[in-house]
Amino acid sequence: MTSILQVHPADDALVALRDLDPGANVSLNSRRWTLRDKIPAKQKFAAKDFAVGDLITMYGVTVGKATQPIAAGALIHTHNVVHATAAFSGKQSDYAWTPPDVSKWQNRTFKGFKRSHGPAGTANYWIVIPLVFCENRNLAFMREALVRSLGYGKTSPYEQFAHRLVQMHREGASKAQVEAAMLEAEASATSTRVFKNIDGVKFLEHGLGCGGTRQDSQALCRLLAGYINSSNVAGATVLSLGCQHAQVSLLEQELAAFYPQMNKPLLIYEQQKSKSERDMMANAIRDTFLGLAQANEQTREPCALSNLIMAVECGGSDGFSGISANPAIGHTADLLAALGGAPVLSEFPELCGVEQSLCDRCVSADLADKFVHLMRAYEGAAQACGSGFDANPSPGNIRDGLITDGIKSAGAAKKGGTAPVVDVLDYAEPIRQHGGLTLYCTPGNDVESTTALAGGGCNMMLFTTGLGTPTGNPVCPTLKIATNSTLAQRMPDIIDFDTGPIITGEKTVEQMGEEMLELVIATASGDYTPKAVALGQDDFLPWKRGVSL
């Protein structure tokens, strides 16, 4: 295993692949450096001397600016570098793409749920949605009534652990004995499903629908309309209070505008028009049960891989994200695009600094202009609140090598592969174009972004992480991809795939990307259950269209 890496030939910031001590001599491509500082794994050091104001390059783009002189071999970090990126201005050049060889997958299928219109689903869920936070209590009642009774629930190991502690206390165990007790119980087996072809009933609890701007309510209804229309959703139950901003009529307008062909079961209940809460809930539970029975008649059948709409996401990123996991799923995205599928790249604050290359990849100037508009409007809104894209990296990101948003963004963009950009969409717009990359405007906040991607129509999600995050989605199977083997070994309960062999040189980005496509097909077929699904990690967080980085 080599100890350092130059990601792009133009880079003057080099990456440590393992911990390097001060005074160590390192070499690469006939060049040698004596390190002036300790360079922890994932951090960067200077390949040349920098003066104050000099720009720093990584991934072949500007990612920062020196705030003090930096000698060759010295650590590059927040004490001597600030965020800086290059200017951008729409489509400036043509783009030619050479698709990867996909002959081995050309006739492959996955076992999915075909819908009367649109792409096939990789799962089959029923969803229950409150139009306003006032209905969250009734949502909880429905969850309590349906989940375990239909065979989707199980006792968690933590509940079993708590029962054990109670038992020990009643038996007179000492405080020391209770403190020494460990979580050893495994969750009890899931009961037999009543409806074997329904993957679950999911409850999209949220805190919006009233009290914000009317634009917030419209964005919420557009998002919820997308979830109702999702190819992974068989039907939906909607709970409304009646007086809120997010009216039933607004939801119906969004459905009619964006999904006029949608014909799946949609059950709507408004509390202020009901005889009583008890009457409304009885009707909602009964009708949902009957809808599930009908939806259960559908089974999985062979579907072309072009039906896959695959979100590429990252969270808890580290200094290896842009070197291993992100390029690997970028290759998976290219394979899928070449097969007629639809990879989708989001998190616009984490595309800061690579805008020009993405503009040039757009198939038209109009798409590039839309991307520029969305990026500048988003950055302007952040700056109006006294912030900016430069504030995106979290303390964990910085601690593990992503010291500027430029570095984080250049690595994050690798998830999008190299295919042409065939569409640019604002938040909650439906994803339509296949055969290339779609850019989708969301925050960098993991759950706000994944929530939007599933609402836009993604039926599969690849999520890279270097630090470890359990994030999932209620209706979109989410595969967790580790950037390093240490994480994969330390947190096997949340990690599905390890790209650490790229860092050690055991495998290439292309090899890992191909292996990941096989895992995607197995997951889409229901043959592999992602860890986030098994854990019930149903994260759902609509974006209240203010500033969120």
Domain shared by 137 and 77, yes or no: no
Q: Is the pLDDT of residue 214 over 90?
A: no
How many domains is the chain partitioned into structurally?
A: 3
pTM of the model: 0.94
Instruction: State the pLDDT confidence band at 94, using cuts at 50, 70 and 90.
Output: very high
- Rounded Cα distance between 137 and 142, Å, is 9
Domain shared by 233 and 360, yes or no: no
Domain shared by 137 and 241, yes or no: yes
Phi-psi region of 234 (alpha: psi -120 to 50; beta: other; left: phi over 0): alpha
Instruction: State the pLDDT confidence band at 189, using cuts at 50, 70 and 90.
Output: low
Q: Is 159 inside a domain boundary?
A: no
Nearest in space to 499 (alpha carbons), one of 519, 480, 479, 485: 485
Each residue's pLDDT tens digit, 247-277: 999 999 999 999 999 999 999 999 999 999 9
Each residue's pLDDT tens digit, 105-140: 999 999 999 999 999 999 999 999 999 999 999 999
Print the domain residue range for 57.
Answer: 4-82
Q: Is 171 inside a domain boundary?
A: no
Q: Read off the tokens for 240.
A: 């409304």
Q: Read off the tokens for 365.
A: 């100037």
Domain shared by 270 and 320, yes or no: no
Domain shared by 264 and 365, yes or no: no
CATH number for the domain harbouring residue 71: 2.30.130.110
Domain shared by 263 and 328, yes or no: no
Q: Where are the beta strands (DSSP E) in 260-356?
A: 266-270, 301-304, 309-314, 342-345
CATH number for the domain harbouring residue 282: 3.40.50.2300
Domain shared by 292 and 316, yes or no: no
Q: Read off the tokens for 540.
A: 């759902």
Q: Is the pLDDT of residue 527 over 80?
A: yes
Domain shared by 288 and 330, yes or no: no
CATH number for the domain harbouring residue 366: 3.40.50
Q: Is 302 inside a domain boundary?
A: no
Q: Is 499 inside a domain boundary?
A: yes
Domain shared by 211 and 324, yes or no: no
Which residue has tokens 């060049």?
31
Q: Is the pLDDT of residue 190 over 90?
A: no
Rounded to the nearest integer, the mean pLDDT of the chain is 95
* Residue 187, beta-bridge partner list: none
Each residue's pLDDT tens digit, 377-390: 999 998 998 999 98
Domain shared by 361 and 465, yes or no: yes
The DSSP annotation for 115-132 comes to -SSSSPBSS-EEEEEESS
265-275 as b/e: b if 16+ CB within 10 A: bbbebbbeebe
What is the predicted pLDDT for the residue at 58?
97
Neighbours of 516 (CB within 10 A): 23
Give the end of a domain, one of 297, 324, 359: 297
Domain shared by 377 and 454, yes or no: yes
